[in-house]
Amino acid sequence: MKYIAEYRSPELVAQYLEEIRRTATRRWSIMEVCGGQTHSLVKNGILQLLPDTVRMVHGPGCPVCVTPLYLIDKAVYLAEEKGVILCSYGDMLRVPGSKRSLLESKAAGADVRILYSPLEAVQIAKDNPEREVVFFAVGFETTAPANALSVIHAQRSGVTNYSILASHVLVPPAIEAVMDDEEASIQGFLAAGHVCAIMGIGEYYPLVERYKIPVVVTGFEPVDLVQGILMVVRQLENGEHRLENQYSRVVRPEGNPEARKVMEQVFEVVDREWRGIGTIPMSGYEVRAAFAAYDADRKFNVSIEKVPESSECIAGLVLKGIKKPQECPQFGKKCSPQSPLGAPMVSSEGACAAYYHFSQVMVGV
């Protein structure tokens, strides 16, 4: 299968790993920003195959994991108290709120539905004109175009009983927050290829210059990742800091202009709270006032009291790359996918879930 099979070649992976071993003369810390990349590194055993001179640090690139506690509580409230049809991607359902998850609300009788696309939610709204339908719009820049398009589609179709609860976060400000953290010690980044496929690569040039760090845009297959790591290591060894695009088969420098146009029409950039991290300036999307009728926050005007995270959960430290999942005292004990203390244990992009599910390949990492 073109662009899949050849990027899973064990022979190519072995060649790149050997080149990394020959190139790295000192210890380097490299962060992969995206949770999808984390899972690929873990499940393919790449973390164990890398030499001791390369330490991979897992970043905050799991949008479900960084969705604020109060927004999950708000979604639960809308489903239970307002009686809306609450729709979401499957990842969000098991993430714990302060009292319960959306899955627990569904089990208790709330109308919570798992969808693959927000356009399905618009159709549900058309089919149920007497009910309010809310789509929990979570994600990085990758899912924002589809969520924005659903709002435009609903407006053009005259659907007035549809809205989105927006919790979109942006990658470049997250990299800034990581680099500005006094506890962080990151020397290079693997940037998420799917985000850059939408946004292009222009936003990363200022980060490279400001922090003097290499940034390499990579894909998600094993060959993509080890080649991207090698590209970062080469720059570090040569004392360079440049933006490179390993994922050029998918990512164009300008990204996807049409998708960006749709996003900019519906969303504006605002400060956003990240679960476990705090508020990062200008790091999220909010529905513009012109589309207020499709903004669940404005439509229902629900005020939810913010409550602190579990004191036993170190998810914030994991998301900032300061701790590894297995360094949490509750990992695999009080915290498991069946009974999570924090979101990284249940999301398909969460680092804790990756370490838990693929623990057989994580010995010694």
What is the reported pLDDT for 1? 47
Where does residue 156 rank: exposed (0-12), middle (13-18), buried (19+ CB within 10 A)?
exposed
Contact 172, 280 (CB under 8 A): no
pLDDT along the chain (365 residues), means of 10: 77 97 97 93 94 94 89 96 95 89 96 96 98 96 96 97 96 94 91 96 97 97 97 98 96 97 97 91 97 97 84 88 91 89 86 85 48
Q: What is the rounded CA–CA span in Å between residue 227 and residue 233?
A: 10
Question: Fold for domain 1-358?
Answer: Rossmann fold (3.40.50)
For the entire predicted model, the pTM comes to: 0.92
Q: Which among 150, 220, 229, 149 is positioned nearest to 189, based on CA atoms?
A: 229
274: its two tokens: 């990240």
Q: Where are the domains of the chain?
A: 1-358
Q: What is the rounded CA–CA span in Å between residue 281 and residue 297?
A: 20
Q: What is the rounded CA–CA span in Å between residue 245 and residue 175?
A: 17
What is the reported pLDDT for 321? 86
Q: How far is CA 252 from the centre of its chain?
A: 21
Contact 334, 295 (CB under 8 A): no
